[in-house]
Amino acid sequence: MKKYFLHVALAGFLAGASYGQGLDMNQWPPNTDFDADVHFWAADDFLINAIPPGEGKLFDPSLIILNDGDQLSEDVTVAGLPAKKSVANYFNAADELYFLLPDLPVIDVLVLYFANAESKRDNLAFRMGTLPNKYLHTLEDFTLESVTDQYEWRLFRLDNSGPWAGMIYDDSEGNIDYGGLNGGTIRFQNTNGVIFRAVAFGPEGAFGEPEEINTTKEAEFNPDDFAIMAEWDIHNGVINGLDVYRDESGDQETLESEDIGPADDKRKAIRPAFDDGSDGEQDIYVNWEILNEHFGPTSQPSAKFKVVAEYYDDPALAGVVFGPEVYVTAGDDLAFFSEEDRTALEGSGKWREAVWYVSDVKLKGVNVDGGQAAARFTFGGPVYISRLRLGVIRTSGVNEGVDPIPDAYPFDPDPYGIYAELDLDQGVVDNLDVGSNGGDQEYIIENNIGPAGDQRTALRPALEDGSDPFDRYVNFSLLNEVFGPSDQPNAVLKAAVDYYDDPNLAGERFGPEVYQSDVFGTLQYKYFPGELRVTLEGSGEWKTAVWRIDNMNFSGVNQGPQAAARFWFSDSGAIYISRVRYAVIRPAGVNAGVDMLAEYEPIVRVSAWELY
């Protein structure tokens, strides 16, 4: 039987006592060597006061947390304490004493982070060094595992034998002010949503050993004993762990009506009472109560919830905004859902679906008179709702990472296309074009490429022939939101690329690399499997390679206004591309299931046993 309860006992949690009895989160870890040379940053400088009197003479608050480009963070207060939340895929620390780091063959990185459901991950990585790529060093597959709704220490041990961190060479490129990448010194990767209260760099052993600090803790709670989805559907009489909260006074009274919606889809539905309530108070809020601890006890850790509402997109209410508003979050604080992430009616005259992700929700509810609830809704007008589904995204148990409402699709694909094409040889630019030509994705366009009977205009990565060395990436730009806005659900994308199978480049490789994907409301970088890239055979012919990516967001990586996946090329892979075609396979709408590249089979993994 799989065990979901804990690596560390958390006595007293359900009774409200504090857990994580081992380490004091307001002090340096107990085995910290105060004779070591340590560089750190701490919100409100609390770690300065935690240095014992007369010690820590080489402890220096020399770290600066950057906030620019793709390494954005924002100041937050969590559990009553100031911190910084990473709101991008990167979190970069610049060390004013970076020039001391090359002398350290191993760097210990200590962080104090808020261990909530949003922070749990197994793909944390670090990048040290400068451009070009030969000076970069990436360490991957680090984890943040605890889910305790409190601050936790975590210690990461990084190999710096290159040396990489803080080392500047004569031909180092980019912003190397602090001896690293993009203006920093050590850059954290895949941090979107993680909340940091402190970061420190030191020599190996400066803070103790990882096994002394990195104990995984969770609340004593078995999620498999409880549901992951609740549903209220007033039209069909469904009350499955969820019901509208009926308040006969105050500001969250509701009205129930029949025959709401278009002629071919009339429903029973509810709306906020507004000025039609019983007590003269304007009723702009609606609450849904969770029944019978459907998701588990209120004492369980906070979690991310998926909320799906079916609403009448009334033409008379076009522009009215509604959606989640306030909820109880980790630390028993009140949190407010972003107004810009609520839904505005378009006035289509149809029943529509809205999807929101609300992070760090405690089930105490707001104004539900002692019951459980997730987020209270606010309405800018009398919008009717007929159905609400509420799902929890578990961080452990058999449903870990499972989408609790997988059929939700809050997007009308019919106004948008399913095909885009760039053909350099034929001069076709059909909502797809070459991307930006600079940085590490510089390209060269040349004529008369290919065999004698089929010479074409094509592009290749500049590699060492560009203005900057090691231009091993090529990006393509999507135009006019051909496939729809970037906030649509993840798309299924097929990409077909015509390339010259150059005899002089046999063995060189290329293919899709990094792209963005929406992971339960948070954009994250994903990496296409390297083993599915193409290896040139050297046939001397033009060939077509096809790939399929099932979870594509079109925000792009280092390319706008929209883009799909960036393409990677091996070190000597000056491989020519003459034509690129993208096809989106829709799950709904008039083009549901249509594949404009159906004649091509994508490259897939082949297991050894499948060959026999």
* In the block, residue with structure tokens 């800018």: 380
β pairing state of 38-42 and 59-60: parallel
Residues 6+ apart with CB under 8 A from 379: 271, 272, 274, 284, 285, 286, 320, 322
**Residue 468: what pLDDT?**
64
| Fold match flag (38-213 vs 419-611) | yes
Which tokens in the block code for residue 451? Answer: 């065999």
223-393 has which CATH code?
2.60.120.260
Percentage of the chain modeled with pLDDT above 70: 94
Instruction: Please provide the DSSP assignment of 460-507 as one string.
Output: EE-BTTSSSS-B-EE-EEE-TTTT--TTSPPEEEEEEEEEE--GGGTT
128 burial level (CB within 10 Å; 0-12, 13-18, 19+): buried
Instruction: Please provide the DSSP assignment of 109-136 as one string.
Output: EEEEEE-STTT-EEEEEEEEE-BSGGGE
Query: What is the per-residue pLDDT across 557-598, written as a single tens digit (0 to 9) for each?
Result: 999 899 999 999 998 999 999 999 999 999 999 999 999 999
Residue 544 CA to residue 114 CA, distance in Å, equals 47
Residue 172 has pLDDT above 90, yes or no: yes
Which tokens in the block code for residue 33? Answer: 């060597």
Domain-by-domain residue ranges, the chain? 38-213, 223-393, 419-611
| 218-222, 466-470, 483-487, range with greatest mean pLDDT | 483-487
pLDDT-derived band at 600, boundaries 50, 70, 90: very high
Residue 528 has pLDDT above 90, yes or no: yes
Chain mean position to CA 48: 33
Residue 131 CA to residue 285 CA, distance in Å, equals 53
Tell me the residue ranges of DSSP E strands in 190-313. 195-203, 229-233, 238-240, 242-244, 254-260, 267-272, 285-286, 288-290, 303-312
Residue 397 has pLDDT above 60, yes or no: yes
Query: What is the per-residue pLDDT across 424-460, written as a single tens digit (0 to 9) for each?
Result: 999 999 999 999 998 789 999 999 999 999 999 999 9
Total residue count of the chain as it appears in this document: 612
Contact indicator for 212, 110 with CB cutoff of 8 Å: no
Q: What dihedral do alpha carbons 183, 189, 193, 197 form, nearest 10°?
A: -60
Helices (H), 139-284: 210-213
Q: What is the mean predicted confidence (pLDDT) over 530-547?
A: 97
What are φ and ψ of residue 78, in 5° steps? -130, 130
Amino acid in position 229: M
Residue 185 CA to residue 94 CA, distance in Å, equals 5
What are φ and ψ of residue 264, in 5° steps? -90, 5
Residue 422 CA to residue 444 CA, distance in Å, equals 16
Residue 32 CA to residue 202 CA, distance in Å, equals 10
pLDDT-derived band at 8, boundaries 50, 70, 90: very low
Closest among 133, 203, 213, 204 to 173, alpha carbons compared? 133
pTM comes to 0.87
| Average model confidence (pLDDT) across the chain | 92
Is the domain covering 38-213 a CATH 2.60.120 domain? yes
Query: What is the per-residue pLDDT across 344-392, written as a single tens digit (0 to 9) for each?
Result: 999 999 999 999 999 999 999 999 998 999 999 999 999 999 999 999 9
Tell me the residue ranges of DSSP E strands in 10-80. 38-42, 59-60, 63-65, 73-78
Residue 319 CA to residue 223 CA, distance in Å, equals 40
419-611 has which CATH code?
2.60.120.260
